[in-house]
């Protein structure tokens, strides 16, 4: 699984990245997580509100920071 956290580096973006890593650990999922801060690349995903979460090329969350449990549920569906 490939996961990308989209955001310019704001506190919410960093919180989403940390929560995503925690959710992966709790769920026992094997995934590669990367951070995308380039605004042009973020816009290529059609995202206008950050932070956003992309799983295997699909935007699954944008504009908010969910709980670790919410992220875990998104990743295990």
Q: Could you give the residue numbers annotated as active site?
A: 10, 13
- Asked if residue 4 lies in contact with residue 15, where contact means CB atoms within 8 angstroms, the answer is no
- For residue 33 the two structure tokens come to 């997580």
Residues with Cβ within 8 Å of 26's Cβ and at least 6 positions away in sequence, in order, are: 68, 72
């Amino acid at each position: 699984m490939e996961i990308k956290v989209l955001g310019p580096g704001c506190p919410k973006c960093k919180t989403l990245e940390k929560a995503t890593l925690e959710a992966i650990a709790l769920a026992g999922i094997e995934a590669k997580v990367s951070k995308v801060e380039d605004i042009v690349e973020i816009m290529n995903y059609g995202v206008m509100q950050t932070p956003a979460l992309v799983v295997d090329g699909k935007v699954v969350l944008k504009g908010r920071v969910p709980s670790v449990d919410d992220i875990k549920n998104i990743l295990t569906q």
